[in-house]
């Protein structure tokens, strides 16, 4: 009730003023903006509160959008959905989705090493190897063998099946001492090379860089050579007398490729890279160890 009267009261006062005679009007004069005498001041706090809801500038999330996002789209028949997807994809994406064409199969001719992985099969002619454990090449990403016959340098890796993009090679060399006392590898003087791509075309890659003139090795001083030989002798549990004999046999040796020392190829690894039938990258490795 008090609120109602406080709202109506100004209008009653205005009406009373307007109803006064001309003398009263002349005495009070007209109402002027900015005149402090015409401003109604309210001191009661209950009438100073807002009676309207504050404006919230952050709009609430639309429930319609939520329903649209969570409602599953009607499923199309598989054939229709595939056709629609293929039609809407850009031509470049469709071409990228297609698996790369496989390299024509080169059937093995004669004796040699055949390694048949799931995604690729290779053949190296003229090699005879042995293995000391059963290897499931269909599930494995690598295979290892020990060479028993045939040559590596100048030979070829032929792709029997699979899409191969590159074959890389690296190898390990070791310094070996061979004299009347026997043959002994100096493992402390071994060296492993970086990966190097093999030249190839039309599914045939040439194995190169494995001849004696091009083999990479670790250089060592005479003191380092003697230290490596001493470690090798002790690793074989030889007597002190034998160790002295071995050390005396290299008394005049100044380099790792000076007799009775030589640089020997110990193992070769080929890394085969390509794409499977689904266009996914694969990597396989084949290792061949050489007897010393």
Residue 41: burial class (beta carbons within 10 Å; 0-12, 13-18, 19+): exposed
Q: In angstroms, rounded to a whole number, what is the distance separating the alpha carbons of residues 200 and 158?
A: 9
- pLDDT grade for 262, boundaries at 50, 70 and 90: very high
**In this structure, are strands 163-179 and 182-192 parallel, antiparallel, or unpaired?**
antiparallel
Lowest mean pLDDT of 64-78, 81-95, 150-164, 206-220, name the range.
Answer: 64-78
Residue 179 pLDDT exceeds 90: yes
Q: Identify whether the C-beta of residue 166 lies closer than 8 Å to the C-beta of residue 283.
A: no
Q: In angstroms, rounded to a whole number, what is the distance separating the alpha carbons of residues 126 and 128?
A: 7
Residue 122: burial class (beta carbons within 10 Å; 0-12, 13-18, 19+): buried
Helix axes 222-235, 240-248, angle to 10 degrees: 150
Q: Identify whether the C-beta of residue 279 lies closer than 8 Å to the C-beta of residue 171.
A: no
Residue 66 pLDDT exceeds 50: no
CA angle 134, 184, 262 (to 5 degrees): 105
Question: What's the residue count for the chain?
Answer: 292
Residues 6+ apart with CB under 8 A from 227: 188
In angstroms, what CA-CA distances link 260 with 5, 58, 215? Answer: 123, 87, 18
**Bond before 211 cis per omega within 30 degrees:** no
Query: What pTM was computed for the model?
Result: 0.62
Q: Where are the domains of the chain?
A: 112-289
Residue 24 pLDDT exceeds 60: no
SS3 label, residue 290 = coil
DSSP state of 46: G
- pLDDT grade for 292, boundaries at 50, 70 and 90: confident
Q: Mean pLDDT: which of 41-50, 71-80, 267-276 is highest? A: 267-276
């Amino acid at each position: 009730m008090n609120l109602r009267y406080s709202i109506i009261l100004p209008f009653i006062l205005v009406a009373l003023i307007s109803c006064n005679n001309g003398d009263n009007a002349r005495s009070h004069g007209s109402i002027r903006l900015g005149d402090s005498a015409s401003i109604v001041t309210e001191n009661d706090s209950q009438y100073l509160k807002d009676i309207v809801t504050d404006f919230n500038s952050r709009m609430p999330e639309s429930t319609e959008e939520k329903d649209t996002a969570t409602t599953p789209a009607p499923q199309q028949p598989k054939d229709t959905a595939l056709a629609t997807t293929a039609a809407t994809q850009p031509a470049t994406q469709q071409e990228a989705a297609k698996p790369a064409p496989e390299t024509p199969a080169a059937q093995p001719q004669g004796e040699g090493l055949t390694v048949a992985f799931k995604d690729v099969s290779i053949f190296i002619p003229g090699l005879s190897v042995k293995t000391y454990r059963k290897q499931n090449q269909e599930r494995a990403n690598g295979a290892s063998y020990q060479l028993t016959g045939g040559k590596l340098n100048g030979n070829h890796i032929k792709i029997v099946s699979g899409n191969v993009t590159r074959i890389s090679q690296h190898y390990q060399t070791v310094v070996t001492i061979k004299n009347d006392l026997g043959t002994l590898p100096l493992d402390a003087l071994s060296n492993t090379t970086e990966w190097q791509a093999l030249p190839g075309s039309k599914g045939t890659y040439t194995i190169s860089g494995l001849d004696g003139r091009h083999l990479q090795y670790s250089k060592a001083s005479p003191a380092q050579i003697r230290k490596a030989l001493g470690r090798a002798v002790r690793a074989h549990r030889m007597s002190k007398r034998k160790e002295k004999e071995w050390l005396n046999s290299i008394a005049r040796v100044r380099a790792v490729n000076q007799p009775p020392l030589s640089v020997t190829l110990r193992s070769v690894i080929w890394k085969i890279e390509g794409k499977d039938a689904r266009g996914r990258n694969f990597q396989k490795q084949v290792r061949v160890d050489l007897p010393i």
